[in-house]
Amino acid sequence: MDSIPEANERRQDASGVRYTLGDSDDDDESRSSAVRLKPTLNVFSGAAINIGIVIGSGIFISPKGVLAGAGSVGLTLLVWVFCGIVSLFGALCYAELGTMIPQSGGAYAYIRVIYGDFPSFLVMWIAMIMLQPGAFAILALTFGNYCLQPLFPDPSCPAPYIAVQLLAISAIVLLAIVNAWSVEWAARVQDIFSFFKVVALSIIIIGGAVEMGRGNVDNFKNAFEGSNIRGLGEAFYSGLYAYAGWYSVNIIVEELKDPYKNLPRAINLSMWTVIVVYVLTNVAYFAALTPAEILASDAVAVTFGERVLGNFAWIVPTAVVLSTFGSINGNLLTISRLFYVGAREGHLPDVLSMLNIQRSTPLPSLVATVSVSILYCFAKDVYTLINYFSFVTWTMSAFAVIGLVYLRWKEPDASRPYKTNLFIAIFFILSCFVLVIMGTIAAPIDTLIGLAIVSTGIPVYFIAVRPVKKIEWIYKVSDAITVWIQNFMMVVKEETEDSKEKLS
């Protein structure tokens, strides 16, 4: 494992000489005109990114799975609280890692610094070929499905799947253009849609409160009757799916203003907001619907709207559309940065680490993200494929936080602008391993298939990323393609202080 200063130095050296637009006598003017990712996001934009990605489609589809596993109203609500606490603890641990290792990329960056290139490449490999674009495609397809629902209200006659796919792709392309044009625009879109999705869920919460005010509290009597301890594994996985994305702001930490203060603030603001909204939303569901009605519904929120909101039931599918649209934007912002950082470290093609000279946005990385995600929109088994990698997500998170504990011992005097309690770190690590074990016991074949796909990255690493002997013709072809893309997209390498000195 590297020390933090050594790792940061290696990151800069590995990237080589980077392009500069030219020096200036005024350092501030030079920095403002440099081709680099700029810290333009404030604490509220950071929180909005986390909220916008976490509150996607999960809160509208996971309640049924949590209840099916937990078996009772009381245990279901406890599961939602517990899943929120686990996600919050993981986010707080990442807050310490993100302020100690202020590099974009999230867990990928932390694993690279702490454990080295090979483990971090496997994280990037599986994120690139499966996890990120697959989950992104599911989100976009959910958006397309709910957009068309008013036109096809009969469940026996759903919308044509090709129409769902075209809407999903249209949303991806539209938001990709926004992200390519300006980080500030993308942040504004995220702020707006995060606000409206919280407002929409607040309407559901208020509707539930009105129902309780009318005396509809029967579902909360004998709340733990029928609890199913054996089904907690299914309940936890469904609940944690709804909280997925708690680590998102860490992926773009280099674009956050004053990250040493704003990263922990954004994490706390976003995660506490999500926990409160999720728990109260589920209380609202139980105020209006019986457990049997929730289990019988394929769209719990829509059923709730039809029961409680009457003529305003359209608010619920609108809320889903807003939620998924905002999440698409947030995921584009973060996934493109993850691939950008992977390329900057030499784990992906070099061109993906380049920025547009006019907009300072990672245009090649955005195009790659959109292209792979669109392909997954046409995959029939994308939902099944994503299930193979639940253990990867939690194993990766566990080892990142194990690295936090290790650094406390190895580098006790290192700068830690934010420091989380070790109990929180240990609790999160144990929770991750329990989830991995439970998932493996429940679906051992899925875990084995996931491991087999992860292992495909091993030959790629030793042949293409860190070859013993360079294959000249491959590098020549790669260089030719890179130059063509640079000319076509007007992109160059990020400017650093080293590059300014070498080119001056």
Q: What's the pLDDT at 3?
A: 53
* Tens-digit pLDDT profile for residues 305-355: 888 888 887 888 888 888 888 888 888 888 888 888 888 888 888 888 888
How many Cα atoms occupy the beta-carbon half-sphere of 376 within 13 Å? 26
Q: Find tokens 């989830």 and name the residue.
A: 435
Closest Cα partner for 367 from 490, 188, 191, 194? 490
Quote the mean pLDDT of the chain. 82
pLDDT higher than 90, residue 8: no
Q: What's the pLDDT at 135?
A: 79
| Angle at which helices 43-54 and 183-213 cross, to 10° | 60
**Close Cβ partners of 7 (under 8 Å, ≥ 6 residues apart):** 101, 112, 113
DSSP 149-202: GGG---TTSPPPHHHHHHHHHHHHHHHHHHHHH-HHHHHHHHHHHHHHHHHHHH
Token output for 114:
């702490």
* Tens-digit pLDDT profile for residues 269-318: 999 999 999 999 999 999 988 899 888 877 788 888 888 888 887 888 88
C-alpha to C-alpha distance for 156 and 147, rounded to whole angstroms: 17
Token output for 377:
């929109």
Q: What's the pLDDT at 274?
A: 93
C-alpha to C-alpha distance for 137 and 435, rounded to whole angstroms: 25
Domains of the chain: 4-503 (1.20.1740.10)
User: Degrees (nearest 5) of the Cα angle 7, 10, 12?
Assistant: 115
What's the chain's length in residues?
A: 504
Least confident interval from 97-111, 275-289, 439-453: 439-453
Q: Tell me the sheet residues that pair with 356.
A: 491
Q: Find tokens 């606490």 and name the residue.
A: 85
C-alpha to C-alpha distance for 286 and 69, rounded to whole angstroms: 16
Task: Name the pTM for this structure.
Answer: 0.83
Q: What's the pLDDT at 271?
A: 94
Amino acid at 288: A
The H-or-E segment that residue 120 falls in is: helix 117-126
Mean pLDDT value across residues 446-458: 86
Q: What's the pLDDT at 19?
A: 27
| Angle at which helices 444-455 and 422-442 cross, to 10° | 110
Calculate what percentage of the chain has a pLDDT beyond 70.
88
Token output for 412:
């006790």
Mean pLDDT value across residues 115-144: 85
First vs last Cα of the chain: how many Å apart? 35
* Tens-digit pLDDT profile for residues 394-444: 889 999 999 999 999 998 888 889 999 999 999 999 999 988 888 788 778
Q: For the stretch 299-335, what's the b/e string if a residue is b when 16 or more beta carbons lie within 10 angstroms of its beta carbon?
A: bbbbbbbeebbeeebebbbbbbbbbbbbbbbbbbbbb
Q: What's the pLDDT at 280?
A: 94
DSSP 145-158: HHHHGGG---TTSP
* Tens-digit pLDDT profile for residues 37-93: 677 788 988 898 888 888 877 787 788 889 988 889 999 999 999 999 999 999 999
Tell me if 271 sits within 8 A of 88, measured CB to CB: yes
Tell me if 425 sits within 8 A of 93, measured CB to CB: yes
**Close Cβ partners of 206 (under 8 Å, ≥ 6 residues apart):** none
Tell me if 411 sits within 8 A of 3, measured CB to CB: yes
